[in-house]
Structure 1
Amino acid sequence: MDQRVELSQHDLTTTEVRQAIAPHRLRYMLLAGTVAVVLGFVAVYFLVQ
């Protein structure tokens, strides 16, 4: 959470406004999804042959 509660959005710089906070687990979910897609394509490749 942003501890600068007293600042309005007009007081933030462009870089600060663009920053987002993602959960730490997100990288693992993205990795698992990518691995699942790759394994799916490999399975389809071998099933079609």
Structure 2
Amino acid sequence: MAHEDDNGIHIEDDDARGAHTTGIMRYVLGISLLLAIIAMSVIWIVPALTGSAN
């Protein structure tokens, strides 16, 4: 809820954002970053091990 005092109008975070903060996006971004690192490592390491560099 918004309330007004001497310094102006204050709105709670969830009301201003229009959603609740659950923190799930941190896990989604962390897992996505980990999967991207693994995929890039595989793309780099497998050709190096098999000797099929261009």
What range describes the TM-score normalised by the shorter chain of this pair?
Answer: 0.5 to 0.7
Give the superposition deviation at 1:23: 3.9
Gaps of 5+ in 2: 49-54
Point out the structure with max Rg over C-alpha: 2
- Distance between the aligned counterparts of 2:27 and 2:35, measured in 1? 12
- Distance between the aligned counterparts of 2:9 and 2:36, measured in 1? 39
Structure with higher helix content: 1
2:2 paired with 1:26: no
**What residue number does 1:47 align with?**
46
- Distance between the aligned counterparts of 1:43 and 1:25, measured in 2? 27
Structure with higher strand content: 2
CA RMSD of aligned residues (A): 3.0
- How many aligned positions are there? 39
